[in-house]
Amino acid sequence: MKTLKLFAVVAILALIGQAFVAAPTSAQSNVIKIASHSPLSGGQSLLGTAIRNGTELAILQLGSQVTDLGFTLEFVPFDDQATPDVGVANAQNIVNDAAILAVIGHLNSGVALPASEVYNRSDLVMVSPANTNVNITDRGYPTVNRLCGRDDAQGAAGAGYAVEELKIETAFVLHDKTAYGEGVATFFAAALEEAGVEVLGFEGTTETANFDAVITPILAQAPDLVYFGGIYNQAAVFFRQAREKGLESAFMGPDGMDGSDLAQIGGEAVVGLVYTSAAGPASLYPAAAQFVEDYRAQFGIAPEAYAAEAYAATQIVINALVNAITENGGALPTRAQVAAAVRATEDFETVIGTISFDDNGDPKVATYYILQVASADPEKWGENPLIGSVQAPSPLTAKEMMGN
């Protein structure tokens, strides 16, 4: 009986301890925090750091809009390591800090999907610069928004270029088995088949070092095109090894290829590769010239893909904070009030252009850019030429247009 009583006491103390840990910290009445959440370490840190830096630069330059209203504005970056479990653990820590009123992130849709479930339960708004998986916004959460386009349209845009410009008749489609990579590859393959292209294979792989088992059957089929739905750090190794094995197919991929590390790792093998991106080159944005200059001055490097989009996402959040504070009589707004103010974004001018969100948090109209790798020199990544672009409305916007 004494043993049973001891176990009972220990169990009760453990439950009390868990409850204490899970309780959100109190927000100071004048402190507002904006978090970024992206991979800051590991093989995908190039783009994750770009998201972090774009967020920080916007806060440094525009934060006075909030501080002038009597609040202290702080920036708190989190490293999700491109890993769902880490992202969810971080998300729980984020929502437990009541001073955090918005999150800019993620890079990986496979991380954003479970992390945003945590945010949504606590009314915490997320504005993504980079997540293209359709389920990010198709869940209809009032807290989840993105500035970039969607993989259904990105896959179709890439397939259209492959058919109309590359004149392919056969293709082999690979993906990295993530929510992002498999999703965009699925839409790309479906669009090819609809256009009459023969898809010789559709496979997923988590291999990162030795792709012999993947390359051998592709070599035997000699497709006109090989498409890799995934991220540059894995895809570049595959493309390099495929060329070394003698594969002569054209190479193509989605916006996960859009990082100078693709050239750094892939070298000459990726020169000529065509990739789609939901992030346009900064040179295309009239308002981005100063951003590029300021980014270089602040961080000593050129901005990679999604740095400007992260800056724009933070512009939207800061504007929403100002509106929520004003509508709340100058007092600290709730997370739900900030989320509602973000979703109400309409014809708002950002560094990447005018943004309006539909009721699901998609941009009402998104642009999908088609670019080609011009050099194996990673320093020249920003010089990759734009070879095409497609504009497409979000599904909700398209439905409204049809209704009218």
What is the rounded CA–CA span in Å between residue 187 and residue 158?
A: 10
**Average pLDDT for 84-94:** 98
Same fold, 31-149+284-363 and 152-277+367-403: yes
Q: Which helix (H) or strand (E) holds 177?
A: none
**Average pLDDT for 370-376:** 98
What pLDDT is recorded for position 92?
Answer: 98
pTM above 0.85, yes or no: yes
Residue 80 has pLDDT above 70, yes or no: yes
Residue 224 and residue 166 in contact, taking contact as beta carbons nearer than 8 Å:
yes
First to last CA, the chain: 74
Task: Detail the DSSP E strand segments found in 47-161.
Answer: 72-79, 100-105, 125-128, 144-146
**Where residue 11 falls among pLDDT bands split at 50, 70, 90?**
very low
**Where residue 404 falls among pLDDT bands split at 50, 70, 90?**
low
Considering the domain 31-149+284-363 in this protein, what is its CATH number?
Answer: 3.40.50.2300
Burial class (CB within 10 angstroms; exposed 0-12, middle 13-18, buried 19+) of 210: exposed
Per-residue pLDDT of 128-182, as tens digits, reads: 999 999 999 999 999 999 999 999 999 999 999 999 999 999 999 999 999 999 9
Residue 262 and residue 231 in contact, taking contact as beta carbons nearer than 8 Å:
no
Taking Cα atoms as reference points, which of 59, 145, 154, 60 lies closest to residue 106? 145
**Average pLDDT for 308-324:** 98
What pLDDT is recorded for position 286?
Answer: 78
CB atoms within 10 A of CB 22: 10
What is the rounded CA–CA span in Å between residue 271 and residue 240?
A: 10
What is the rounded CA–CA span in Å between residue 345 and residue 138?
A: 18
Residue 385 and residue 372 in contact, taking contact as beta carbons nearer than 8 Å:
yes
Residue 66 has pLDDT above 70, yes or no: yes
Residue 4 has pLDDT above 70, yes or no: no
Residue 278 and residue 368 in contact, taking contact as beta carbons nearer than 8 Å:
yes
What is the rounded CA–CA span in Å between residue 285 and residue 213?
A: 43
Locate the domains of the chain by residue range: 31-149+284-363, 152-277+367-403
What pLDDT is recorded for position 282?
Answer: 75
Q: Which two tokens stand for residue 231?
A: 């991220």
| Mean pLDDT of all residues belonging to the chain | 93
**Average pLDDT for 68-92:** 98
Q: Which two tokens stand for residue 102?
A: 């918005």
What is the rounded CA–CA span in Å between residue 354 and residue 345?
A: 10
Residue 8 has pLDDT above 50, yes or no: no
**Average pLDDT for 14-37:** 63
**Average pLDDT for 93-108:** 98
Distances (CA, A) of 236 to 63, 240, 337: 38, 6, 43
Q: Which two tokens stand for residue 55?
A: 């967020």
Q: Which two tokens stand for residue 301?
A: 């490097």
Q: What is the CATH architecture assignment of 152-277+367-403?
A: 3-Layer(aba) Sandwich (3.40)
The separation between CA 182 and the C-alpha centre of its own chain, rounded to angstroms, equals 15
What is the rounded CA–CA span in Å between residue 185 and residue 189?
A: 6
**∠ CA 339-105-264 to the nearest 5 degrees?**
160
Residue 22 has pLDDT above 50, yes or no: no
Q: Which two tokens stand for residue 10?
A: 């220990």
**Average pLDDT for 317-330:** 98
Per-residue pLDDT of 220-270, as tens digits, reads: 999 999 999 999 999 999 999 999 999 999 999 999 999 999 999 999 999
Residue 28 has pLDDT above 90, yes or no: no
